[in-house]
Amino acid sequence: MKNNHLSADLPADLRAYLESVPPSTPEMTDSLARANRAAQEDPQFDADLMKMVFVNEMLTALDERKETKSTLADRLGKTRQYIQKLFNEDKRVNFTIETLCTVAHALGRRVHMHVYRENEQPVIISRTRTPVMIKAGGWDRPPAMVYASSNVDRFVRTDLPTTPVKKEAPVEYSIAA
Amino acid sequence: MTITLAEIPGLDPTVQTVWKVRALVIGDRNPVQAALERWAEDHPNAHKAILKVMRLAAQQQRVKKEEHVKRTSKPKKHGDVYEMRAHTDIARLFFFYEEGSESLIICTNDYDKGNRNQDAAFQRCGDLRDFYRKYKNEKQPPLRRPAC
């Protein structure tokens, strides 16, 4: 049986703090799970989170490239204030897909979007910390891209054909005289 | 007394791609779960904001913006501890990164902005981390290189 009592070897201040916390029960855990899931079901939650992730990735890219927001603004032909607002997730800046792609490309990054059904989950193959490009065999196959960065798990495209695709001869149509 | 790491209820494991988020549970006390419940009930916006930061931290190597995650300003005193922040809202959640067989974010304690004891909350996080590591080392002594 688990011993759930706070033991005497806890420092006094930690013990006092933990005693001020109500003991957790399975009912409380269930209720919190429901509240957490409900909060994450909101489309605005997803949108805000995607912006946060994008901005964090771009700040990482800026650091890696030892660039500043001013130099990025110059290269994009925008004002520094605009870039600042964008990076502050300011509601006055339109976070369009064009904006995301433009900024990402300017910082040597690419944006990948994956839409999946409610009951699906993206398949995470493995984790890497170095960029990887796997070249698929076959004379007519495009290389299988492995999306990788310093802190993103690898997503492997699974929609590529598993066997080389043969080029078909173009179909010629003729009109009978 | 048992010390365990609990999953955050309702936080999908598949979105925790870089770090797995866990709550430190000592005995039957789970301060993180209690705080999340309180915020969900009394401050829904703060609750949502903290969940967003939690998800961000779980899928990024490090969070760059201090309005989301801030490292203690006194690392010599508190150690390498951080707080998740609901930006302008009241919720703050303290944690530390733990790299071992798994990469973990271990959340330890909470704090409501405006209580004027933020330094003490960072200190508590550092103390809880030390207590956790001491317990972990006692349970599972670090591997030693065999003598030749």
Quote the CA–CA distance of A103 and A59 in Å, as a whole number. Answer: 11
pLDDT at A152: 44
pLDDT tens for residues B68-84? Answer: 999 998 888 888 999 99
How far the first Cα of chain A sits from its last, in Å, is 92
- Chain A residues 71-100 with a CB less than 8 Å from chain B: none
**Chain A residues inside the 8 Å CB shell of B94:** none
pLDDT, residue A93, reads 84
Binary contact (B56, A49; C-beta < 8 A) = yes
Nearest to B92 by CA among B67, B73, B55: B67
Contact between chains at B40 and A17 (C-beta distance less than 8 A): no
Asked whether the beta carbons of residue B1 and residue A59 sit closer than 8 angstroms, the reply is: no
Of B45 and A161, the structure prediction assigns the larger pLDDT to B45
The whole-angstrom distance between residue A97's C-alpha and the CA centroid of its chain comes to 15
Task: Look at the block and give the residue holding tokens 């310093």.
Answer: A150
The overall pTM is greater than 0.90: no
- The pLDDT of residue A165 is above 60: no
| CB pair distance less than 8 Å for B33 and A39 | no
Per-residue confidence (pLDDT) for residue A149, from 0 to 100: 45
* For B35, nearest residue in chain A (alpha carbons): A21
CA distance B37 to B12: 17
Residue among A28, A42, A60 whose CB faces B33 most closely: A28
pLDDT of res. B24? 94
**Structure confidence at residue B66 as a pLDDT band (50, 70, 90):** very high
The pLDDT confidence band at residue A138, using thresholds 50, 70 and 90, is: very low
We find that the CATH architecture of domain A43-106 is Orthogonal Bundle (1.10)
Which residues, listed in sequence order, are joined to residue B70 by a DSSP beta bridge? B83
Is the CB of A12 inside 8 Å of chain B's CB atoms?
no
pLDDT at position B143 is 56
Distance of residue A76 Cα from the nearest chain B Cα, in angstroms: 22
Nearest to B16 by CA among A46, A29, A44, A153: A153
Amino acid B147: pLDDT: 59
Residue A144 has pLDDT above 60, yes or no: no
Q: d(Cα B84, Cα B148) in Å, to the nearest integer?
A: 46
The pLDDT of residue A164 is 53
Is residue A42 within 8 angstroms of chain B, CB to CB? yes
Tell me, what's the pLDDT at B145? Answer: 58
In the predicted model, what is the mean pLDDT of residues A101-118? 89
**pLDDT for residue A157 is more than 60:** no
Give the residue numbers in B contacting A (CB under 8 Å), as ranges. Answer: 1-2, 8-12, 14, 17-18, 25-31, 33-34, 36-37, 40-41, 44, 47-48, 51-53, 55-56, 59-65, 68, 109, 124, 127-128, 131
In chain A, list all ranges with CATH 1.10.260.40.
43-106
**How crowded is residue A34: how many other Cβ atoms within 10 Å of its Cβ?**
13
Q: Tell me, what's the ipTM?
A: 0.88
Query: Do B6 and B23 contact (CB within 8 A), yes or no?
Result: yes
Point out the least confidently predicted range of A39-48, A152-161, B112-121.
A152-161
